[in-house]
């Protein structure tokens, strides 16, 4: 009876780990529906109520999801507080380097903290800066811009392909210009151009025509956060056992000189195939495809300055083979552990029955804890669009039209009595999801 109690305890603990795999697809879709309805206050409460679903190892995503929704709800102070927490967690995780935690090789990737993708962390500096700009605090926004370019310098230096986040560099250059720091602005703008070129954006994406009398005018810069980010979900595939073990060995993830490994593979105790779960990104449809601002009857179209969904998918594809190899390796290890557990129990009890129970239980645990890691920053928009306009000093109404691909107006929004100051920039931001 002691053995069965131990096995039940192991099953219970493993299933608890399995249950803490992060927010469900249903939860993410529910939050998305609130974003589409622009019901950000309810979305905020929804996220706060479901903090436990993120789990201890997904706490970074909780703060990211919450902080961005609070910005959309114009709760800039609360948003900044939570972005600060998110940045602190991300910095700590970078320093501890947990990407190859042993627990993730035995259980699943949910057993290690989510560290955030490079583009996700880079965007936190933009969003924090916008929180300050919405409160007319250019000085603190500049702090975020400087942190952003410093972080991206680090990323370029340490990434295999020299990855950079073009929009965040471009945005930082705008703040440096306003500060009068033209040297930093030039460097950030060039970094943005280089990164945009790598991602095949139009060549003139960073060009911003300036009228001859710009010194007599003020400027409005409008950011349209549009759509719903691509969602990371899981898919299951069946693969031959021989192929699975071969991949694991060829990737050098296992020490095949281990006696237990060789005995297990030679025992012939495994099925002809196994089912594996792998993550992939699925695009989320949205109707709004373009936008334009109207001021004093003049129309200014926005341009795409950040395709976040495309970036998330392309960055994931760089890691796809590594994720596949690690998943296969984990399955091999679980079968090895199950076989060796059964043999050990049989040897210690002298009972073949108890050995079979232990092995079957271990296999059940292996299956129960095998999950694709679908964690990602779910409240991000799919894209960021931008437009700018130079205007005489004074108060202006700024109307924004949101259109589908056929130029039909889906909705509109008006910023009333926006104060434009001579020689200064005024920033506006609006989120649509549908």
> Tell me, what's the pLDDT at 1?
36
Q: Is it the case that residue 279 has pLDDT exceeding 50? A: yes
Q: Fill in the DSSP letter of residue 57.
A: G
In a domain, 110, yes or no: yes
Span 411-431, mean pLDDT? Answer: 96
Name which of 318, 319, 377 is nearest 121 in CA terms: 377
CA 163-166-167 angle, 5° bins: 140
* Per-residue pLDDT band at 316 (split at 50, 70, 90): very high
H helix or E strand, kind and range, residue 216: none
pLDDT tens digits, one per residue of 116-139: 999 999 999 999 999 999 999 999
Among 12-26, 59-73, 109-123, 369-383, which is the least confidently predicted range?
12-26
| Tokens encoding 44 | 């905020």
SS3 233: strand
In a domain, 132, yes or no: no
Block residue for tokens 């500060």? 179
Terminal-residue alpha carbon distance, the chain: 58
In a domain, 188, yes or no: no
Q: Is it the case that residue 54 has pLDDT exceeding 90? A: yes
In a domain, 305, yes or no: yes
Q: Which residues contact 221 (CB under 8 A, 6 or more apart)?
A: 174, 386, 387, 388, 425, 426, 427, 428
In a domain, 192, yes or no: no
Q: How far apart are CA 63 and CA 89, in angstroms?
A: 10
Q: What total number of domains does the chain contain?
A: 1
Q: What share of the chain has pLDDT > 70, as a percent?
A: 78
Range of 372's domain? 2-116+208-432
Strand spans (E) along 296-408? 298-301, 303-307, 383-391, 394-403
Among 5-9, 299-303, 333-337, which is the least confidently predicted range?
5-9
In a domain, 140, yes or no: no
pLDDT tens digits, one per residue of 344-395: 787 888 887 877 676 666 666 656 666 788 999 999 999 999 999 999 999 9
Span 195-222, mean pLDDT? Answer: 93
Q: How far apart are CA 228 and CA 245, in angstroms?
A: 38
Q: Fill in the DSSP letter of residue 393.
A: S
Q: Which residues contact 111 (CB under 8 A, 6 or more apart)?
A: 17, 57, 101, 103, 104
pLDDT tens digits, one per residue of 143-183: 999 999 999 999 999 888 889 999 999 999 999 999 999 99
Q: How far apart are CA 356 and CA 341, in angstroms?
A: 9
In a domain, 58, yes or no: yes
| Tokens encoding 84 | 């600060």
Look at strands 218-226 and 425-432 and give their pairing: parallel
Q: How far apart are CA 279 and CA 281, in angstroms?
A: 7
Q: Which residues contact 403 (CB under 8 A, 6 or more apart)?
A: 288, 289, 290, 291, 292, 409, 410
In a domain, 133, yes or no: no
| Tokens encoding 322 | 């590594």
* Per-residue pLDDT band at 221 (split at 50, 70, 90): very high
Q: Is it the case that residue 106 has pLDDT exceeding 70? A: no
pLDDT tens digits, one per residue of 72-101: 999 999 999 999 999 999 999 887 754 444
Q: What share of the chain has pLDDT > 90, as a percent?
A: 62
* Per-residue pLDDT band at 12 (split at 50, 70, 90): very low
Q: Order of strands across the sheet with 409-420? A: 298-301, 290-295, 394-403, 409-420
What radius of gyration, in Å, describes the C-alpha atoms of the chain?
26
């Amino acid at each position: 009876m002691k053995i069965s109690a131990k096995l039940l305890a192991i099953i219970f603990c493993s299933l608890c780990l399995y249950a803490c795999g992060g927010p469900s697809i249903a939860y993410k879709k529910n939050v998305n529906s609130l974003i589409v309805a622009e019901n950000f206050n309810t979305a905020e409460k929804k996220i706060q109520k479901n903090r436990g679903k993120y789990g201890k190892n997904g706490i970074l995503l909780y703060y990211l999801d919450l902080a961005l929704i609070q910005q959309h709800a114009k709760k800039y102070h609360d948003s900044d507080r939570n972005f600060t927490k998110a940045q602190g967690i991300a910095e700590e995780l970078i320093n501890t380097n947990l990407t190859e935690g042993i627990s993730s090789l035995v259980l699943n990737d949910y057993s290690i903290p989510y560290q955030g993708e490079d583009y996700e962390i880079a965007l936190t500096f933009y969003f924090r800066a916008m929180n300050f700009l919405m409160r007319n605090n250019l000085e603190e926004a500049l702090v975020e811009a400087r942190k952003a370019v410093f972080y991206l310098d680090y990323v370029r230096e340490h990434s295999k392909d020299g990855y950079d986040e073009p929009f965040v560099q471009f945005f930082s250059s705008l703040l440096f210009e306003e500060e009068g720091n033209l040297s930093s602005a030039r460097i950030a703008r060039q970094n943005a151009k280089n990164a945009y070129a790598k991602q095949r954006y139009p060549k003139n994406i960073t060009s911003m025509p300036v009228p001859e009398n710009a010194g007599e005018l003020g400027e409005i810069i409008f950011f349209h956060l549009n759509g719903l980010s691509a969602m990371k979900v899981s898919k299951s595939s069946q693969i031959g056992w021989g192929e699975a073990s071969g991949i694991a060995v060829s990737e050098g993830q296992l020490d095949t000189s281990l006696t237990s490994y060789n005995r297990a593979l030679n025992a012939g105790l495994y099925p002809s195939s196994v089912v594996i779960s792998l993550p992939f990104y699925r695009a989320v449809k949205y109707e709004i495809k373009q936008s334009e601002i109207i001021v004093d009857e003049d129309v200014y179209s926005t341009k795409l300055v950040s395709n976040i969904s495309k970036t998330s998918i392309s960055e994931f594809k760089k890691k796809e083979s590594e994720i596949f190899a690690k998943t296969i390796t984990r399955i091999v290890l679980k079968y090895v552990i199950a076989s060796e557990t059964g043999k050990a129990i049989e040897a210690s009890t002298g009972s073949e029955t108890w050995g079979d129970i232990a092995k079957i239980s271990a296999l059940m645990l292996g299956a129960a804890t095998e999950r694709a890691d679908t964690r990602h920053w779910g409240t991000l928009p799919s894209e960021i669009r931008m437009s700018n306009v130079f205007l005489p000093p004074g108060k202006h109404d700024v109307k924004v039209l949101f259109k589908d691909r056929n130029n039909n107006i889906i909705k509109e929004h008006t910023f009333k009595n926006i104060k434009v100051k001579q020689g200064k920039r005024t920033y506006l931001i609006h989120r649509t999801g549908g």
